[in-house]
Amino acid sequence: MPRAVLEIIKERIIHNCVKIHKFTGKNIIAVVKSNAYGIGLWEVVSVLNELDFIDYFAVASPEEGVVLRELGIGKKILVLGGILEDEVDILFKNKLIPVVSDERHYELIKDLDIPFHLKFDTGMGRLGFLEFFNIKNSKNLEGVMSHFSSPSDSIFSFEQIKRFRKIYSKYGKVDVIHMESSAGIIYNLDFTTHVRIGLAIYGEKPLRDYPIEVEPALRLKARVISVKELPGNYPISYGRTFVTRKKMKVGVVSFGYADGLIKSLSNRMDFLFKGKRLPALGNITMDMTIIDLKDEDVKVGDWVYIVNEYQTFTDLSRNAGTIPYELMCNIASRVSRQLI
Ligand SMILES: *Cc1c(COP(=O)(O)O)cnc(C)c1O
């Protein structure tokens, strides 16, 4: 039996997709880059592939697209991260749809019969053309897109929307138009055809007042490998950042920063056991974290939760001064994935 498990709750993922589809009235481009945000590509995609209102999967690189094809995925695959010269062949052979966001990308594919999307930089300062980009013919132009840099800032986002509207309309009729990410859906754009969603599918809310009731679809749990009592005034873990005041029952959980925690969560997170919060004590180590068992009857071999309905990746990320995306992408390959 594995010592640490990430449970992926199928029904919740479906529920979240349906909610997003209904709220926006648009079909979905499901963003599954980086092993589906670290969750597990196969587990996530095997669920999403059954939903007919998901028209595309989006990945970061052609290599990630090839993995999807090897898993037998027949849906359209959008490659968000540009095109390098040595990747053109792979794109073509695997019927991957590149996003052209640099003159060089366009040169590489302009003489091939390959559909593509054009990306505009309307205020992200990352990928995309700042202005109208002249293409030879628009036969293969399947889509146009842009990306919000600060969806919680409505003044700046409205400026981005205005810029995108102005540029894309110069291309005449384009089949697919997309700009909204999980947080971006609050703008409910009347000219886009699709929404490009990652985080919300997995049940994490990108904004405090999120208008869609997505439900946490992930649970992360690990087993206790030792239970013991420490006397008062006794240090815990490397660097002795925690010292007991009085005698204390502690547990050692087989989950550390090599499994996906980050050291800045040391002394700043709880584990959950039957609804009770058990604080982490001292520095998180590579493979283990020590927790306060309080009066709970925790035994060696018991499971404790790091993430569940009561403590999401978003909650944890706030304590660590980071974002849920980063914590999710950190979940190690030795953590077993279970689709339930
Ligand atoms: C990752 C990504 C998304 C998805 O963002 P979420 O906040 O996870 O919904 C959308 N568009 C682009 C260009 C991305 O890189």
Task: Give percent of the chain with pLDDT exceeding 90.
Answer: 99
- The whole-model pTM stands at 0.97
What's the average model confidence in pLDDT over 193-222? 97
User: Average pLDDT over the chain, rounded to whole?
Assistant: 97
Distance (Å) from CA 15 to ligand 1 centroid: 20
Ligand 1, residues at Cβ distance < 6 Å = 31, 33, 80, 147, 181-183, 196-199, 206
Q: Is the pLDDT of residue 40 over 90?
A: yes
To test the pocket of ligand 1, the residue of 13, 16, 23, 31 to mutate (highest count of ligand atoms within 8 Å of its CB) is 31
Task: Determine what percent of the chain falls in helix, strand and coil, rounding each to the nearest 5.
Answer: 30, 25, 45
pLDDT, tens digit, for every residue of 55-114? 999 999 999 999 999 999 999 999 999 999 999 999 999 999 999 999 999 999 999 999
User: Using a CB cutoff of 8 Å and minimum separation of 24, what contacts does 241-250 make?
Assistant: 241/266, 241/267, 241/282, 241/283, 242/267, 242/281, 242/282, 248/292, 249/292, 249/293, 249/294, 249/295, 250/281, 250/290, 250/291, 250/292, 250/293
Residue having the nearest C-alpha atom to atom 13 of ligand 1: 147
CA of 310 to the centre of ligand 1 (A): 25
pLDDT digit string, tens, across residues 123-161 = 999 999 999 999 988 899 999 999 999 999 999 999 999
Decide if 325 is catalytic.
no
What is the pLDDT at residue 35? 98
Annotated catalytic residue 33: yes
CA 86 to ligand 1 center in whole angstroms: 25
CA-to-CA distance for 56 and 74, rounded, in angstroms? 10
Which is catalytic among the residues 238, 247, 274, 299?
Answer: 238
Pairs from 170-176 (Cβ < 8 Å, separation ≥ 24): 170/132, 171/118, 171/138, 171/141, 171/144, 172/138, 174/138, 174/141, 174/142, 174/143, 174/144, 175/142, 175/143, 176/117, 176/142, 176/143, 176/144
| pLDDT for res 1 | 86
